[in-house]
Chain A
Amino acid sequence: MNADERLASLVQALEASGISCLVMGGHAVRHYGLHRYTNDYDLTLAPEGWDALPNSLAQTGLFPVGTLVEGNSWRPGAFRRFRIGTLANGQEEWLEFWRENHLLAPFPELYSRREVATYGGQPVPFLGLADLIGSKETERSPDWDDVCYLEEVQDARFQAQCNAGLLPLATALSELRSRRGFDSYWIENRFNDAVAVRAALARTHNPITQAFLLPGVPDAALGSAVVAIEPVVEKRLRSTVPASALHRALVEVVRRQYKVYCQARDRADKQAIRALQDNAQT
């Protein structure tokens, strides 16, 4: 049984015992098209399955007695990990469960947006693409490599839906995050529709999307964003030629600002958890 089949069997077995879960992490990234080698299986779990998890896993029959060992968690109550075996190369295999974290919406919301696909020969529910991107906005640099790729996939999907008449242009543009996505819309002259660009700008809360769209409607007001674009950068975005070399550089300035903000937010979350644990021990 390969890793994909093993994960699929596990998810099926958990669901058969009444525990809902969604695949996230490296296997979800693989599902969306980027090959990622991973020894770990990452899932987010319905809260009601949390306490009974060790028993539920044991009852799946997938792990011989003694091979399933719960490891230490740096975040008890929210994160559990189980060693499920050792690969031929000596590396340990881990099964990891999140109940909650600051990058994940509540489970019922995530579940309502799940994407089910055949994986390892069986239907498997994955974190929806936007939720997966959100879950990757951590302090770790490799996660941002995944974000870059996943944003391109998301843009391509929205553009395809838009071209098929299934999604208004303003909605699709309001999610624009990647340079490749920007170039695709640009080639199709989609930014000539100023009404749609203005509507997209009004709808988005992401500063990267704002930076892509603003030069096309320079008099438009910016809505609130997760992190506000620096005033000097915003001013230049309002005067620069759309799709020019400077426009593209300024988008990357804003992308950096957003990434640094998200990394700091994730770091602060981890530090707060550790501080709580330290206080509890003293």
Chain B
Amino acid sequence: MPLDYEEAGRLTNDPVSRLLLTGQAQTLREAEELYLDNCLPEVIQLLESPLSDEELARHPLMVMLRAHGSRSWEEATE
């Protein structure tokens, strides 16, 4: 039975998983990169929320941004 990407995308609310399930990304890294490249509206929403600096820093999106920062790729090239 052929895979219904649209149907698969409805199985989760996680934006990264959805990118994988809908075939928009082939790997987890690609999916996270794609998600982060388009995350600015979500970041702005978070910054406008009443969350404290500490709570913001612990938010999964902020954690992912730090993990994909200017160093994380090194492991992949060595």
Contacts and interface: CB of A to CB of B under 8 A. Distances in A.
Contacts of A230: 40, 44
A245 B57 contact: yes
| Most chain A CB inside 10 Å of its own CB: which residue of B39, B69, B71 | B69
B73 A148 contact: yes
Contacts of A255: 69-70
Contacts of A51: none
Interface in B49-75: 53-54, 56-58, 62-63, 65-66, 68-71, 73-74
B37 interface: yes
26 contacts: A148-B70, A151-B70, A178-B71, A179-B69, A232-B47, A235-B47, A236-B47, A241-B53, A244-B57, A245-B62, A245-B66, A246-B53, A246-B56, A248-B66, A249-B62, A249-B63, A249-B66, A252-B65, A252-B66, A252-B68, A253-B65, A255-B69, A256-B36, A256-B39, A259-B37, A260-B40
Nearest to B62: A249
Interface of B: 33, 36-37, 39-40, 43-44, 47-48, 53-54, 56-58, 62-63, 65-66, 68-71, 73-74, 77
Given A248-B66, A255-B70, A259-B37, 20 more contacts: A145-B73, A148-B73, A149-B74, A152-B70, A178-B70, A178-B71, A232-B47, A232-B48, A233-B44, A241-B53, A244-B53, A244-B57, A245-B57, A246-B53, A246-B56, A246-B57, A248-B69, A249-B56, A256-B39, A256-B40
Nearest to B71: A179
A235 B48 CA distance: 10
Contacts of B71: 148, 178-180
Given A145-B73, A178-B70, A252-B65, A233 B53 contact: no
A73 interface: no
A172 interface: no
Contacts of B39: 253, 256
Interface in A162-181: 177-180
